[in-house]
Amino acid sequence: MKSILVTGGAGFIGTNFVYFMASKGYSLRVLDKLTYAGGKDNLEPLMAAGKVDFVVGDICDAGIVKKSLSGIDAVVHFAAESHNTRSETDPGLFYNTNVDGTRVMLEESFTAGVKKFIHISTDEVYGSIVDGYFAENDKKLGDSQATSAYSKSKSQADDLAIEFGRSYPVIVLRPTNNFGPWQYPEKALPRWITNILSGSKIPLWGEGLQVRDWLFAPITSQCIEFLLQKGEAGNAYNVAANHNPEITNRKAAEWICELLGVSSDEWIEFIPDPRPNHDFRYALNVDKISQLGFKPAVDPFNQFRDTVEWYKSNTAWWKKRKEEAESIYKQ
């Protein structure tokens, strides 16, 4: 599995994965449409060093996909529209990219003889859970558990990948809430960090008691390499940090304030939750991947620190993205 096509490799988790795999000496080709969330500048150092072959193209375009698969051993499929708020105003775009695009990728990959295909799904396919943890077989066929246009499209794409996995070497990975370097500042953590760095408060929805499992993106990269080597075809795997105690959004925001040296009482602004019925708690059972041999390094506060330091050191990167990212909250 030395030659890998990474779809969406100029996006957040994809960029982290490409850097990680490049450091291991893999031959990498990136296929990315370069939407607002994809930055070719993310990968320019690797491209200049000849470590990444970059193709600009849409995963819904079978012709471009076919050409991109030439000489490829494995596919890691990140490419997706990924923001819940944006999905509320353009659900058709999410279905087209996340479902139809995944179908094209699966069909063309196995026509081309790809040896392994890893589909990156999400914990949101299970929906919210008050107590306990979702295991892989708790995912029902269809999108009835999902609660947004984004998560519904990802749930349908997940089903497609599982169905292909009955005949082809497909693995589905369902990670929890990723954070880390290169995350577009529309998402909570980079939005909060860059708000404070630019002199604005953290807008915390409701009472900030929503629970998310914060998984460091470099850890997700390690997990994907592990599955390329040891994952069993036709299987879905959860991966999570499983924090103990769990981390509420309020606690995450307070950590950001602490790491940036400001008072949380002064820099956190509680605002009415614009999605009061949105998923409150996500939690995954990781016994399956743990028994296979993967156990992530869980050190949330220091991983938050590393993330904050990255944004402090890459001001030019986020400043040119900040205005567009904030625009979706002003509609």
Residues catalogued as catalytic: 123-124, 150
- Give, as one character, the DSSP assignment of residue 231: P
Euclidean distance between CA atoms 270 and 161, whole angstroms = 40
Closest to 69 (Cα-Cα) out of 17, 115, 25, 23? 115
Task: Indicate the SS3 state at residue 108.
Answer: helix
Euclidean distance between CA atoms 205 and 248, whole angstroms = 12
| Contact call for residues 12 and 45 (beta carbons, < 8 A) | no
Euclidean distance between CA atoms 267 and 83, whole angstroms = 25
Token digits of residue 72? 């490829």
- Give, as one character, the DSSP assignment of residue 211: B
